[in-house]
Amino acid sequence: MAKREYDVLIVGSGASGGMAAYTLTQLGVKCLLLDAGPKVDFQRNRGLKPVYELPYRGFGRPGKLPHVVQANEFNANQWVDEAEVPYTHDPKEPYNWVRVRMVGGKSLFWARMSFRLSDYEFKAKDKDGFGENWPLDHAELSPFYDRVEPIFRVSGRKEGLAQLPDGVFVEDSSPDTGAAQRIAAAGKPYGVTVTKIRRALGEGPFASSFNLLLPKAMATGNLTIVPNAVVRDLTVDKNTGRVNGVNFVDRKSKREMHAAARVVVLGASCLESTRILLNSGIANSSGVLGRYLHDQFYVSNSVVAIVPEARDGKAPRGLMGGGGYIPRFKNITTKEKNFIRGYAFDFFAGGTPDARYFGSWGAQLQKEMDAVRGASVSGTLMGEVLPRYENHVSVDRKVTDAFGIPVLNFKCKYTDNEFNMAKDAIDTMSEIYHKAGFEVMHRNDSMFPPGYSIHELGTCRMGDDPKKSVLNRWNQSHDVKNLFVVDGSSFVTGGSQNPTMTILALSMRASEYLAGQMKKGEI
Amino acid sequence: MKRRNMMKAVLAAPAAPALLSQSPPAHAQGPVPAAPNETAELATSIADDAATTRTRFFTQPQLNALRKLSAIVMPPLNGQPGAIDAGAPEFLDFLIGASPAPRQQLYRAGLDALNDGAKKRFGKTFADVDVTQAETLLAPLKQPWTYEPPADPLAHFLRDAKADIRTATVNSREYSAVATRGSRRGGGMGLYWYPLD
């Protein structure tokens, strides 16, 4: 059979790769999309089961997924098997790399939190002098956010906050709970605003590239999807220095394959895209490929409090039963002594504290838990992590995965800026809860290891200076003009906002630029 | 309730004849032959319905202490089975026996420490202490929960064991059967991902 050559070969079918396929195919570009995992049949691959029928009663097979805190025995098979695709790190500096390999990628499982970055992130260096600015600002990306949000049907309420720009929302006009109103009132002197959670409603059971992007791309007749294609590296034309395809391994048979294309777009997820580039030995004249790894640090159940009026099931109607979001409020109008940048909270009012927070057992424990059933407020702290040169990934050539591909080694740790920020957050939220009349029963400022938020960012950052960045302002390699990287690896800073909307907007923007350049014959 | 007993109960319920009476009168014509490519559905049971766990990991004194601890942490309450009814100690013998070495060591040392503490303070094993004496020995459980585990190995063990005993109980067949009695809600139902091909 004659070798086929596509206009664009896209690696990865999650949010970023899916958006590239969606955009390019509708502009008439013939695309081949490879994904390392299978196309899942959701009827066949999932089924309801009682927990007692699972081999380990819900505990999961011991030692199976040591880095995936999110895993349980029900969902263990949805995550990448760490034995099949391992990675290395100093045991004293763990990194929780949480991965999904299936068509649709992590967009099948994300928490759907949908926020924009603001110029407090895009132009962060201008505000505090640390790191680099992005080569673009919110005004430039805003038209793409405007188009992405309706596709994913983001619900929200317009708030008019500079640090959390409003979007094109499915209007959320539900009233705030009484608990949320009390937090807002008590937090006002601290600069706190309580917003609605901005969330992608999607369609049906998913808000994923699997149902929102890839079907429309397929309908153009311009997309070919090949699942189970584990990309080893990119191939380069020695005469031009440009990429001309990828080598990949068939996941099931381990057969080595090559696919050719005029342009390659990497959207394999932040660290897999960087791993492919590092294993290819290209696009790194800057020396910063793999550098500036960052994410958001998370502290789950950071402050757990009881709303006294809700004890013993006596909550008046409207007091409990809903959540809210507190966007960054530090270093906006104030200047903190111990840290730069800021943090956000999301909270839920109406749960029951876990048994671990009670210093009792047996009948007494049950009595105490029954008294506060549905009466707690708890939340997750999400803090900005500074992108530092020292935090990086490199290829560990001593270790290969099940496909013979060298794995990543991680050197990444949080520093005083993150620790001081977490401590401030817990102190501040405890004070606000206290002033709101809540009883704080637990507080914790110890964050999970880096990676836990599944918001890994950077390592292939964009910028105008080819000596300091891997990509230009269009997600295009400075070194290899027909190579684009459209996932979270392109981020310069990440803020405290969940990154998916920004990844989608960047991918749409880069893909339209690419199609335009191809049309002009520039690529 | 064992599954075979539950099936008997369902078949004996008054609703069964009514449902059958709404069916086509095929029963009057004898069994309907199965289509050539169909196979009969065979109802099977889980092992916990028919058998008990053979304990293999803990020593007998350790297992006795774990049973006592389980009975204290999760007694039968409000008509719900407790940890002993749910076979939680025996299940944990299996689970911890299959776990990485640090977790095994935590449990073994913790159970030994409970027995040693009981002998030193009360002259008997932990399995034989009374409620007041147990309260004294379990005092580390009263410490506030922290993300970092306690430095004291006994406190660390007790914290983990409390959570594990509760989970092994609540996720048991016995607990689910009672929790869902008289309700159409499935106890502990979840969306399970089968291994991907």
Nearest beta carbon to residue B191 from set A38, A74, A442: A74
The residue whose two tokens read 């290819």 is: A280
**Within a 10 A sphere around the Cβ of A246, how many other Cβ atoms?**
24
Q: For chain A, what are the domain ranges? A: 1-43+66-153+207-289+388-412+452-523, 170-200+296-384+414-449
Helices vs. strands in chain A: H and E counts, helices first:
12, 20
* A30 vs B32: CA distance, rounded Å: 55
Mean of the pLDDT values across residues A201-215? 97
* A449 vs B187: CA distance, rounded Å: 33
- What percent of chain A lies above the pLDDT cut of 90? 97
User: Quick one: pLDDT at residue B188?
Assistant: 84
Strand partners, A347: A324, A379
A88 vs A36, A351, A406, CA distance in Å? 20, 38, 11
User: Quick one: pLDDT at residue B20?
Assistant: 33
Tens digits of per-residue pLDDT, B118-151?
Answer: 999 999 999 999 999 999 999 999 999 999 999 9
- What percent of chain B lies above the pLDDT cut of 90? 64
With contact defined as beta carbons under 8 Å apart, do A327 and A161 qualify? yes
Query: Do the domains spanning A1-43+66-153+207-289+388-412+452-523 and A170-200+296-384+414-449 agree at the CATH topology level?
Result: no
Asked if A362 lies within 8 A of B148 by C-beta distance, the reply is no
Q: How far is A402 from chain B (nearest CA, A)?
A: 15
CB of B47 within 8 Å of a chain A CB? The answer is: no
Q: How does residue A3 score in pLDDT terms, banded at 50, 70 and 90?
A: low
Q: Which residues contact A114 (CB under 8 A, 6 or more apart)?
A: A149, A152, A154, A156, A167, A198, A199, A200, A498, A500, A501
Tens digits of per-residue pLDDT, A63-110?
Answer: 999 999 999 999 999 999 999 999 999 999 999 999 999 999 999 999
With contact defined as beta carbons under 8 Å apart, do A409 and A391 qualify? no
**CA gyration radius for chain A?**
23
Q: Give the right CATH number for A170-200+296-384+414-449 from 1.20.120, 3.40.50, 3.30.1180, 3.30.410.
A: 3.30.410
A147 CB-contact burial (10 Å; exposed 0-12 / middle 13-18 / buried 19+) = middle
Strand partners, A155: A170, A199
Mean of the pLDDT values across residues A504-516? 98
User: Quick one: pLDDT at residue B197?
Assistant: 85
User: Quick one: pLDDT at residue A164?
Assistant: 98
Asked if A49 lies within 8 A of B196 by C-beta distance, the reply is no
Query: Which H/E stretch holds residue A324?
Result: strand A322-326
User: Quick one: pLDDT at residue B16?
Assistant: 34
The residue whose two tokens read 């496909």 is: A403
Tens digits of per-residue pLDDT, A139-181?
Answer: 999 999 999 999 999 999 999 999 999 999 999 999 999 999 9
User: pTM, whole model, 2 decimals?
Assistant: 0.92
Strand partners, A471: A462, A477
User: Quick one: pLDDT at residue B29?
Assistant: 52
* A73 vs A85: CA distance, rounded Å: 19
Tens digits of per-residue pLDDT, A5-28?
Answer: 899 999 999 999 999 999 999 999
Q: Which of residues 82-101 of B touch A (CB under 8 A)?
A: 91, 95, 98-100
Asked if B163 lies within 8 A of A355 by C-beta distance, the reply is yes
A404 vs A80, A226, B177, CA distance in Å? 16, 20, 48
Among A49, A52, A370, most B C-beta atoms within 10 A, so best to mutate, is: A52
Tens digits of per-residue pLDDT, A230-274?
Answer: 999 999 999 999 999 999 999 999 999 999 999 999 999 999 999
Low-confidence ranges of chain B (pLDDT < 50): 1-28
User: Quick one: pLDDT at residue B180?
Assistant: 77
User: Quick one: pLDDT at residue B28?
Assistant: 45
- Which two three-digit tokens encode residue B74? 């999760």
CB contacts < 8 Å between A and B, how many?
Answer: 119
Q: What ipTM, to 2 d.p.?
A: 0.91
**A420: pLDDT strictly greater than 60:** yes
Kindly write down the DSSP assignment for every residue of B16-72, as one continuous string: HHHHHHTS-GGGGG-PPPPPTT---------HHHH--PPP-SS-HHHHHHHHHHHHH
Q: For the domain A1-43+66-153+207-289+388-412+452-523, what is the CATH code?
A: 3.50.50.60
The residue whose two tokens read 């009881």 is: A306
Asked if B166 lies within 8 A of A355 by C-beta distance, the reply is yes
Among A78, A99, A102, A361, most B C-beta atoms within 10 A, so best to mutate, is: A361
* B176 vs B183: CA distance, rounded Å: 11
Q: Which residues contact A297 (CB under 8 A, 6 or more apart)?
A: A381, A382, A383, A385, A414, A418, A422, A447, A448, A450, A452, A453
Mean of the pLDDT values across residues A406-411? 98
Q: Which of A353, A341, A499, A319 is nearest to A418 (CA)?
A: A341
Per-residue DSSP letter, A400: E
